[in-house]
Structure 1
Amino acid sequence: MARRILSLWFPRLAAERWLRRIGGALPQPFAVVGETGGAQVLVSLNAEAETAGLRRGQPLRDATAMCSGLLTRPADPVSEALFLTALRRWAGKFSPWVAEEPPDALVVDLTGCAHLFGGEAALLAEAEADCARLGLTLCGGLADTRGAAWALARFAGQSGQPLRSGDDIAQEARATRSHAARRRGWERGGALPSAASATEPQGLIAPPGQTESVLAPLPIAALGLPPERTEGFTRLGLRTVGEVLALPRAGLARRFGADTVARIDRALGLAPEPISPAAPPLRFATRMQFPEPIGTAADIAAGIDRLLDPLCARLREKGRGARRVRLQALHPDGTSQWVEVGLAQAADQPDRIRTLLAMKIETIDPGFGIDCLRIEAIQTEPVHPVQHRGHFEATADAMTRQGGTPRLGDLIERLSTRLGSESVTRAHPADSHIPEKGSIILSAAWSEPWAEPWPAANPPRPLVMMRPEPVQAPEDPTPPARFRWRGRNHETRTALGPERLAPEWWLDDPAWRSGVRDYWRIETATGERLWLFFAHGGALSGGWFAHGIFG
């Protein structure tokens, strides 16, 4: 069976997505504005803006000068990608083999599917009608190859227009045209001889087996080459794909690169160009409908027990574990409530999830009753089986596990459920000589404990560190015999140091603008062990400061 590929291009996708949000078409020019190279440019236009002479890639200031009534909205690449994904799901009605071509196109493998819609023309007409109801502009192309379908969707009906170029023989000065008369036709700027017939494309559908004849009259840009390659062909006086196809392959590869020849081969079907459809997302959810609305915490807990077993069975079947679980309660009036819990480690056991959801039941207001409960694992991760280990490892494991469940993980999960996952953190060592940067703070739910021994500081660092606090003492690098700190007078008993630390010269840290520091371990007459430093001064004045307290 011959392969047939459909390319669906939405040339005004970003603009029409905005128009759908604000209620439909506008009678005035409208454009979506994005940034390119630090400048604001038009990235998508409606039909009225194109009629006014605006174009994609045009600077915004030039566009507003040409069209004072231009209405604009900022580009939103994330929302546009989600909208394209929604269109991919719609295109699944034509074939299960659909892939996205960001930012504004889809490609569909229609092999063996067109007859279900009455033929290729009827299928394309149905796609256009669907898009018209959605308020979207659609350009479709159907051919034997992906490259040819892409070209038809964007360039069907266009012919190669001559562009002025200093290398084109047709633009030579009068004094050199006498030499051009003795050259062959295509050397004087005429069309190159083509083995393919230069017939115009028959609409947007290329008949089977006629890929080359359909591509031949299209402009060179229809090959999908980089702009510099297309410009290179134009400088040689070439205008259409057919003229490029007539060139010797060896010279073409030598001058324009092997990737250019490979692109041409893919467009003609001489080299494979597969379509990789997006895999359907893994969804893990269970729901229970009640014959009569429920309203007590015990009934909700019983419903959770009934739902968790099939949910976890599906997770184990796919080798996944839940990291975030959502419980949704639907009310008879159409409203709903939901709560979420997070797990420190991916889990596929009901007991791990049940305990956390039970802590959230009290936050659900049953109101006039709950007629449906739904539990969904909204975030999952692969779960690997635990390998058997020896007696030593098993004994060490028993110190941290109980019943196969990590005790620390349980603690993190319960604290995160009560306080929020952002409130439960752990520290990891960091590679920095700056005292306050010796560790980094990570979320405990999304990080593993530091597996190695904590790097020993030499000299040791204080147990408690704070922002540098001023110390009233003589401005002398020698440790003061007496000083005043936090409203109290202190007398130095011993002083150990100094340890000189310099700021990170590649960063402008406001806390280190007082220059190089000399750190001293000071023990006072009353037993306090402090970490003081003398700042030698820089952008700010120096002096003595307290930075930490030893335990």
Structure 2
Amino acid sequence: MRAGRGSLAGPLAIVEELSNTQVISALNEAAEAEGLFVGQPLRDAHAICATLLTRKRNIPAETAFLMALGRWAGKFSPWVAPQVPDEINLDMTGCSHLFDGEAALLTQIDADCADMGITVRMGLADTLGAAWALARYAGQAAGLPVDRSGDAIDQEARATRARAARISVRPAAPGQGAPSGKAGRRHWTRGGAAPQAVELSQQPERIAPVGQAHRVLAPLPVAALRLEASAVAQLGRLGLRQIGDLLDQPRASLARRFGRGLVLRLDQAMGSTPEPVSPAGVPDSFAVRLTLPEPIGLVEDLQAGIDRMLPRLCALLEERGKGARLLRLEAHRVDQAAQIVTVGLARPSRDPDRIRPLLAMKLEQIDAGFGIEMLRLEAMQAEPIHARTQAGHLEATAAARTRQAGGQTVALEDLIGRIGARVGLEAITRRHPVETHIPEKTAKVLAAAWSEPAQDWPAAPHARPLLLWRPELVMAPDVPQVPERFRWRGRDWELATAEGPERIAPEWWLEDPNWRSGVRDYWVVVTTCGARLWVFFAHGAALSRGWFCQGSFA
């Protein structure tokens, strides 16, 4: 993609950091003319073009601009779906006649974008897949994949050459633009006369005439089907480099060799599988910002800015009856870069006193650089907080007792939030009961931030050990009677008392490799040295029988 046209006439590139390497994520026409490309390491780009100017990528600003551009595109169609990072999809069904036809419509969009300093590439077709292909690959000849291996054949197959001879390839189109606009019209006509064939040379190359998607897409490279790079490379090595080459192949063979994803993309491009434009509804936005008169860089200044923004954000949440579950703090610096930190809460909340300490713990991660000129605080995830209902005397008394005991619950939730800000909320877990008679499956582990404390643990029919581990082999006679002496963990043990047995059978409806030993008879064994062990005798099924130790009561 190319950066928008602006006051800088020289080579300009937007740089982002990937795997500790700075690479180009966008560039303008002047940089493209120097031979630079998206994904190129910055050090290689400077070696080619010494006059290259660079700017750091600002992902939040790009996303916000794309959403704003999507709202502007609503003047052409009510069905608009922006797709991060650089696409806007429009369903133009019944709209083109309002702008004197499809060609005039695209001309007006192109002119409006040029006035805003945006380089844009568009495609219009019956399907979203075909429009995507035209917007990005119209006029590009199909060649060998860039990442081809050494054993690739640098020539087309005989059938491919015969096919290519009958298709005229359009002249190369300009470079790829950003954002890429794709407009599509529904074409579900059934019955009646077939659409009249239109000479493609009479139409702009970015517009596919009605019913002519097959002819327009046939000369385009297979990458225009939105395939993975590995699939494109494999198809190229087999001589299948154009979409038309795939259309002539048996579908069953394509699906068997390259997966159903390839066939699905073909169907979507040709209209056999519907892919409608589904614009998402306008989500609730809970965000506040603070523009600073002078750049700041001290932690105390950041904390003061949060103290001014947080009450306003909590007021917005309260108006909609929601609480923040995940918050993001953006610090926009004077060099157009943005520092972002996120915090999560164990429970949704709109209390500034509970949110402020979590944000304060993250401020040290912000690099102020040459100064921060704007702060933005946004609730990325918000959940409803139900209002309290009126209660009588009995309910009020019970609620008061609950609040007395619930102070610990609130403190525990705040503690989970503070620890989660350091190690992550997923790392804090709690155990919950499970309805099963298998000893090692009586509890499951859940994230503490997304689960309630366990209540009413079911009582075990017999005593269960405090420590439980995987069964360990016990050297003892292979009989179901408790041995007087046995060897376990390299030591000799002598029996004092034994209590049991408790027979537990495996879950026959589940295949558990740990229970292939069959039915078990559990005993509580006390040795002469005072150790209280939990041992069992496996009667044998798929595995051999014998004695095992699985836990200890102390």
Instruction: Place the TM-score, normalised by the shorter chain, in its bin.
Output: 0.5 to 0.7
SS, match of residue 426 in structure 2: helix
Q: Structure 1, residues 283-310: CA drift from partner, whole Å, max 9, x if none? A: 2222223233222221121111111111
Which of 273, 280, 283 is equivalent to 1:281? 283
CA contact (8 A) 2:430 2:446 kept: yes
Instruction: Indicate the residue corresponding to 2:530 in structure 1.
Output: 527
Aligned counterparts of 1:121 and 1:365: Cα–Cα separation in 2: 49
- 1:357 Cα shift? 1.0
Instruction: Kindly provide the amino acid, as one letter, of the partner of residue 411 in structure 1.
Output: L
Which protein is bigger by CA-based radius of gyration?
Answer: 1
Instruction: Indicate the residue corresponding to 1:499 in structure 2.
Output: 502
Instruction: Kindly provide the amino acid, as one letter, of the partner of residue 453 in structure 1.
Output: D
CA contact (8 A) 2:77 2:90 kept: no
2:124 matches 1:138: yes
Aligned counterparts of 1:512 and 1:308: Cα–Cα separation in 2: 55
Instruction: Indicate the residue corresponding to 1:366 in structure 2.
Output: 368
Structure 1, unaligned runs of 5 or more: 1-20, 24-83, 142-149, 162-198, 203-216, 219-274
Instruction: Give 1:170-185 correspondences, 5 Å limit.
Output: none
- 1:121 Cα shift? 7.9
- 1:277 Cα shift? 6.0
SS, match of residue 415 in structure 1: helix
- 1:110 Cα shift? 6.9
Instruction: Indicate the residue corresponding to 1:479 in structure 2.
Output: 482
CA contact (8 A) 1:466 1:547 kept: yes
Instruction: Kindly provide the amino acid, as one letter, of the partner of residue 431 in structure 1.
Output: E
Instruction: Indicate the residue corresponding to 1:94 in structure 2.
Output: 76
SS, match of residue 454 in structure 1: coil
Instruction: Indicate the residue corresponding to 1:354 in structure 2.
Output: 356
CA contact (8 A) 2:297 2:371 kept: yes
- 1:377 Cα shift? 0.9
Instruction: Indicate the residue corresponding to 1:425 in structure 2.
Output: 429
Distance 1:477 1:376, change over 3 A: same
Distance 1:498 1:326, change over 3 A: same
Aligned counterparts of 2:68 and 2:505: Cα–Cα separation in 1: 55
Residue range with higher mean Cα deviation, 284-293 or 389-398:
389-398
SS, match of residue 123 in structure 2: coil
Distance 1:345 1:98, change over 3 A: same
Instruction: Indicate the residue corresponding to 1:16 in structure 2.
Output: none
Distance 1:443 1:135, change over 3 A: same
Q: Structure 1, residues 136-157: CA drift from partner, whole Å, max 9, x if none? A: 531269xxxxxxxx99742679
Instruction: Indicate the residue corresponding to 2:402 in structure 1.
Output: 397
Aligned counterparts of 1:22 and 1:370: Cα–Cα separation in 2: 25
Aligned counterparts of 2:337 and 2:450: Cα–Cα separation in 1: 32
CA contact (8 A) 1:139 1:154 kept: no
CA contact (8 A) 1:323 1:343 kept: yes
SS, match of residue 398 in structure 1: helix
Distance 1:471 1:449, change over 3 A: same
Aligned counterparts of 1:139 and 1:386: Cα–Cα separation in 2: 54
CA contact (8 A) 1:480 1:492 kept: yes
Distance 1:135 1:476, change over 3 A: farther
Aligned counterparts of 1:152 and 1:435: Cα–Cα separation in 2: 61
SS, match of residue 187 in structure 2: helix
- 1:458 Cα shift? 0.8
Aligned counterparts of 1:333 and 1:309: Cα–Cα separation in 2: 29
Residue range with higher mean Cα deviation, 535-544 or 432-441:
535-544
Instruction: Indicate the residue corresponding to 1:53 in structure 2.
Output: none
Aligned counterparts of 1:109 and 1:317: Cα–Cα separation in 2: 38
What TM-score, normalized by structure 2, do the two folds share? Answer: 0.55
2:519 matches 1:516: yes
Q: Structure 1, residues 78-124: CA drift from partner, whole Å, max 9, x if none? A: xxxxxx99997674232446589xxx98546879x986x57898447
CA contact (8 A) 2:126 2:184 kept: no
Instruction: Give 1:183-262 correspondences, 5 Å limit.
Output: none
Instruction: Kindly provide the amino acid, as one letter, of the partner of residue 286 in structure 1.
Output: V
SS, match of residue 287 in structure 1: strand
- 1:380 Cα shift? 1.0
CA contact (8 A) 1:94 1:110 kept: no
What TM-score, normalized by structure 1, do the two folds share? Answer: 0.55
Aligned counterparts of 1:348 and 1:309: Cα–Cα separation in 2: 9
Instruction: Indicate the residue corresponding to 2:37 in structure 1.
Output: none
Residue range with higher mean Cα deviation, 512-521 or 387-396:
387-396
Residue range with higher mean Cα deviation, 393-402 or 347-356:
393-402
Instruction: Kindly provide the amino acid, as one letter, of the partner of residue 417 in structure 2.
Output: E
CA contact (8 A) 1:494 1:523 kept: yes
Instruction: Indicate the residue corresponding to 1:441 in structure 2.
Output: 445
Instruction: Indicate the residue corresponding to 2:214 in structure 1.
Output: none
CA contact (8 A) 2:288 2:313 kept: yes
Aligned counterparts of 2:519 and 2:69: Cα–Cα separation in 1: 60
2:179 matches 1:154: no
Instruction: Indicate the residue corresponding to 1:384 in structure 2.
Output: 386
Distance 1:336 1:433, change over 3 A: same
Aligned counterparts of 1:397 and 1:522: Cα–Cα separation in 2: 43
Aligned counterparts of 1:526 and 1:282: Cα–Cα separation in 2: 66
Aligned residues: 355
Structure 2, unaligned runs of 5 or more: 1-24, 28-65, 83-87, 128-182, 199-209, 212-276
Aligned counterparts of 2:329 and 2:26: Cα–Cα separation in 1: 33
CA contact (8 A) 1:400 1:407 kept: no
CA contact (8 A) 1:157 1:201 kept: no
CA contact (8 A) 1:428 1:442 kept: yes
Instruction: Indicate the residue corresponding to 1:543 in structure 2.
Output: 546
Aligned counterparts of 2:80 and 2:508: Cα–Cα separation in 1: 53
